[in-house]
Amino acid sequence: MKLRVLGCYGGNVPECGMTSFLVNDTVCLDAGFVSGALTLREQVKVKDVVISHSHLDHTCSLPFLIDNNFSAPGFSLRIYAIPEVIASMKAHLFNNHTWPDFTCLPNDLTPVLKLVPIPEDRPFKVNGLSVRAVRVSHTVPTTGFLVEDKTGTVGYSSDTAPTERFWEEANRARNLRAVIVETSFPNELQDLANVSGHLTPQTLHTELDKLNQDVPVYLYGAKPRHLARIRAQVRALRRRKLGFLVQGKTYRF
């Protein structure tokens, strides 16, 4: 599986794009920085976006991805998410106030955007991938994903505080190649991490004990202001096969 890191931070400053990964050139996993990272020629190839939750650092480039490519011949986009997340995007993003409701444009019969509700805990097919949504522990309805293609499976936690089901499913996954997990705040902001449903290096440490497959773990979601502290605290954990995703890099799992 080819996974290009478009953005891997929990905030946006120059050099730090927000969470989005491009899988096998055509499927995006979250959309915090799709239009900021891809050229128009690359954007138009994106046909499917799988969204973990409604927070803007995972969705804010969707309006521009659609707007940029609306008049490109044959362009259309499908956005997949659990029903609560779809409802939130309808109510707060594509609501004709924040941005046009592209599910009715250019007309109801052939809209440029389809919002596709997905099940939890059952695999669904997205352009050659088999994706399973697993509920995690954030402040709004959120799922992580187990993404499988013919070469293997990658687990992506999305935003979460300490959680259980995601790790159980990762442990059960066939041919697990890597896990991508969040770590948003440094240890000294543990209270903030707790109320906002995020991990710190110390809670990451106990989370990783739940993973019993020996695969590399890549971190995303650091808040740019706290990047240096988070990196130092993660290094101090001295865990094998643990590192940070690199923005712009393409991984082959």
Part of the chain binding Zn ion (CB under 5 A), chosen from 11-19, 20-28, 55-63, 126-134: 55-63
CB 212: neighbour CB atoms within 10 A? 9
As given in the structure block, the two tokens for residue 62 are 């969707």
Cα dihedral 61→64→66→70 (10° resolution) = -170
Q: Which is nearer to Zn ion, 93 or 173 (CB)?
A: 93
Part of the chain binding Zn ion (CB under 5 A), chosen from 40-48, 53-61, 210-218, 245-253: 53-61
Q: How far is the CB of 53 from Zn ion (least distance, A)?
A: 6
Q: How far is the CB of 176 from Zn ion (least distance, A)?
A: 24
Part of the chain binding Zn ion (CB under 5 A), chosen from 108-116, 159-167, 169-177, 218-226: 159-167
Q: What whole-number distance in Å separates Cα of residue 83 and Cα of residue 119?
A: 8
For residue 206, the SS3 value is helix
CA angle centred on 29, ends 209 and 242, rounded to 5° = 30
Give Cα separations from 221 to 127, 131, 212 (angstroms): 26, 21, 23
- In one letter, which amino acid is 118? I
Paired with 18 in beta bridges are 9
Q: Which is nearer to Zn ion, 20 or 69 (CB)?
A: 20
Rule CB under 5 A: is residue 198 a binding residue for Zn ion?
no
Rule CB under 5 A: is residue 223 a binding residue for Zn ion?
no
**Per-residue contact string for residues 95-134; x = within reach of Zn ion by CB under 5 A:** ----------------------------------------
Instruction: Out of 30, 148, 159, 207, name the contact with Zn ion by CB under 5 A.
Output: 159
Q: How far is the CB of 174 from Zn ion (least distance, A)?
A: 28
Rule CB under 5 A: is residue 55 a binding residue for Zn ion?
yes
Q: Which is nearer to Zn ion, 60 or 176 (CB)?
A: 60
- How many chain residues touch Zn ion (CB under 5 A)? 2
Q: What whole-number distance in Å separates Cα of residue 81 and Cα of residue 183?
A: 22
Q: What whole-number distance in Å separates Cα of residue 69 and Cα of residue 57?
A: 21
Contact 84, 115 (CB under 8 A): no
Q: Which is nearer to Zn ion, 47 or 135 (CB)?
A: 135
Residues that bind Zn ion in the complex, under the rule CB under 5 A: 55, 159
